[in-house]
A and B are shown apart, each in its own frame.
Chain A
Amino acid sequence: MVVTFPHMGKMYIPVKALFDDLGVKVVIPPPISKKTLETGTRLSPEMACLPLKINMGNYLESIARGADTIVLSGSCGPCRFGYYGVVQKEILRDLGYDIDVVIIDTPQLGIRAFMEKIRKITGNQPWFKVLKAFSNASDIVALVDELLDASLMKRPREMVPGETDRVMQQFESDFAEAVGSSEIKALIGKYMEKIRSIREKAGVSPLRIGLVGEIYTLIEPFVNLNVERKLGRLGVEVHRGITINEWVKQHLSLDFSYKRKQKRILKKAEPYLNLCVGGHAWQTVASTVNYSDEGLDGVIQVMPFGCMPEIVAESILPSIASDRSFPIMTLTVDELTGEAGYMTRLEAFVDLLSQKKGILA
């Protein structure tokens, strides 16, 4: 059995550590490229949301490298993501691929099915080893997000423009050599030091912008056209409401103090939206209010075209913007999004914020 999985930002790092520790052979899909997107778009339903299309591209590229089992997580609606696995499997079947698609639903949906699926992937490894591998992987999730957050803080402050990006690129090429969770942890530690030691300009107080929206679009830089890096280069300190680490804490852990904190933030959305409408729409509205309370300069919502829950949030955000005179911009991405227009809108938004704040660029 050779396992593969769809890309989602830096998710491949903990996932590789997990499978390495369990001795499962794994193919990491090649980094998402234009070709991945084209392949995926050609094979997927026209009206499907962008993540599904890119997943399809990932699968085909991994299959070409020898993968025969696809692992992906599931959910129980109302967002479409919960049914991705089923539709993708039917498409692969009609293409003539005999591929096993293992959908791992959250344990809340039935602990038994969850355990069975884990068994299926891990073979006959003893449970304590499986648990250990999972706990190591979740440590790595947290470490990776710390590394990313550190780079977000560094980018607007770096003395030599582009240095942070160079370090991060080096990290990715070194990662290809690392095997197993302990090597990966050490590698992340090493690069954390490198990021920290990047020299900073003195006396910079950058604009602060919060990113909210649909989780996949936020986390996968290919899809959001590297919005974090683009903003960082424009001298903006980027804050993220949704990360892989947060998702893991919310769905797979028993960290109650974290959950309480999340509930407190969700409560802030009360005047606008007071229930879950699927996906991360509630969080989008709540984090926007929260960022405005925290004194950030603005918020950008990022979502894939046609995303059902985020459309609800999108129609609410203008009210928050006018109630609090708080700048909010929505960016919708799909397979046709052009980089130039996107860049222009980001620059215009940043200009607007800096003028509002009295900093003239």
Chain B
Amino acid sequence: MKLRRHPTGIASRPPAGERRRFIGALVALGAGALMPAAQSFGQGKPFITRPIPSSGEALPVVGLGSWITFNVGNDRVARDSCAEVMRGFFDAGGRMIDSSPMYGSSQDVIGYGLQKLGKPPRTFSADKVWISSGSAGRAQIEKSRERWGVSRFDLVAVHNLLSWQQHLPTLFAMKAAGQIRYVGVTTSEGRRHQEIEEIMRREPLDFVQVSYSAVERDVEARILPLARDRGIAVVVNRPFREGALIRSVKRQPLPAWASEADCGNWAEFLLKFIVSHPAVLCAIPATTSVTHVRENMGACLGRLPDEAMRRRMAAHVEQL
């Protein structure tokens, strides 16, 4: 499989058909590697992964965010509690953990948790660069890496498009040098979608991170189809709208028809709506609760809703 050269000198991804065949083989391998943890967690239900389009590497459709929840400072009790959340996440087959230098002490807390759990080899480390100065990007990424205590990041994305014109060339160079594996950009709460679209069209991104939920569906119109066309993996942040959405729907009983998509609780319902979109790689809910992380990981199990059911789910949540 030949790699095309991007105008910037960075290798671009292969044509879609060739890529799909390559991906298919890798997906099978990736899913297989995850099966032991997933089987013990899911009691025999199939464990759902999705391939990263640019490489074919399979990732579970639910990751772990760290915004607010892991920013607990030097509080040892709270750090241990976060480590238990991470343990629950890994035990359920989870891989991607997401953070940013903007999230206070979250990177340190993740590093503490990884160290305590013996640095699980399945960890997929996703972090961001968030600094105005382009020349300071590398130093910030290195500091973040030290805080995590990992040998290298799997994914580094430009946080909220801050100085993306300066940071993207650095990230592509780091990827070419093998210092990181994937490059992305992020935004949240529906901001700067036009700009992110332009970047997606122009740059050979591996990942894009956006907000998406049953009640916040702007990205369905352009961002998600574009990501699919361009072979860019979509990570979904704030799937519960910082808890407000799930707190709101939890007042109502889960509809009986939710079981048709193997949804046993509202967390699974809301997450399966998101990850069943064909362009979405995974959602990254954040939590401080082991119970909740297990509920969230339940969205990796069983059947996903089809398009008709997705419409029904969105209509139902909007009605609530």
Partners in one complex: no
Q: What residues make up the interface of A, taking CB atoms closer than 8 Å to B? A: none
